[in-house]
Structure 1
Amino acid sequence: MKCLRIYATPDGESHFDEIEMPMTKVAVHPDAVPFEVTTSYPASRLRFTHIPAGMREVSWHTVPEPVLTVRLDGAVDYETSDGDTRHVKAGSFVLVEDTFGKGHLSRHSPEAQTVIWISLPKGLEGLE
């Protein structure tokens, strides 16, 4: 499974990356058809965020800690300090790890949005 990532390099510039999240087949009980799951990652906090309608652009910013964002509705265009942009629609998730440096820019769709923020103490360690 692929995961879009926003991260900062030591010089403070932000960039996009796509990381592969390895999957393993697991049966949850003897009669169940196995399905694919990732490894478990520790999470320290879960927040639901409501972004009001009409909030179009959030200026350059970083995140206070690594977060996995899960967009339930609406859409956003992210821009990194290297000028690259990505469109993220409802149903998508993004690992945001630019906790220092110039940060990223967020341009939101005009409708209200709901986003789940999952704080990850060390990001998704071990993924490349």
Structure 2
Amino acid sequence: MKCLRIYASPDGESHFDEVELPTTKRWVHPDAVPFDVTSSYPASRVRITRIPAGMREVAWHTVPEPVLTVRLDGSVEYETSDGEVRHVRAGSFVLVEDTHGKGHLSRHSAEAQTVIWISLPKGLDLPPA
């Protein structure tokens, strides 16, 4: 399962990356087809955020800790300090790990949005590629 990632390199520049979340097939019910399920990751806090309609741009910023954001509705356009831009639609999730450096810019769609923020003390702690 692919996950968009925003991270900061040692020089403080922010970048995008795509990480592969390993999954295994699991049966959750005897009459259902198996699901692709990731490992469990320790989370320290879960917050649900309502971004008001008309909130267009959030200035350059970092996150205080790695967070996995799950966008329930609306959309956002992220820009990293290296100039790359990505559009993220409802139903997407993004691992945001730029806890230092220049940060990223967020441009929100015009409608109100709901986003779940899951704080991950160790990020996703993925095995090396």
TM-score range, shorter chain: over 0.9
Cα distance in 2 for partners of 1:111, 1:30 equals: 41
Asked if the contact 2:14–2:82 (Cα under 8 Å) also holds between the matched residues in 1, the reply is: yes
Amino acid at match of 1:101: G
Query: What is residue 65 of structure 1 aligned with on the other side?
Result: 65
Amino acid at match of 2:14: S
Q: What displacement does 1:54 show? A: 0.5
Amino acid at match of 1:9: S
Query: What is residue 55 of structure 1 aligned with on the other side?
Result: 55
2:12 counterpart of 1:25 = no
List aligned pairs for 1:1-128, cutoff 5 A. Answer: 1-127=1-127, 128=129
Q: Which has the higher strand share?
A: 2
Q: What displacement does 1:30 show? A: 3.9
Q: What displacement does 1:34 show? A: 1.6
Deviations 1:37-63 (A, max 9, x none): 011111110000010000100000000
Cα distance in 2 for partners of 1:113, 1:119 equals: 19
Cα distance in 2 for partners of 1:19, 1:105 equals: 21
Tell me how large the CA RMSD over aligned residues is. 1.0
Query: 1:117 aligns to what SS in structure 2?
Result: strand
When normalised by structure 1's length, the TM-score is 0.96
When normalised by structure 2's length, the TM-score is 0.95
Query: 1:5 aligns to what SS in structure 2?
Result: strand
Q: Which runs of no fewer than 5 residues in structure 2 stay unpaired? A: none
Deviations 1:7-46 (A, max 9, x none): 0001000000000011100112444432110111111100
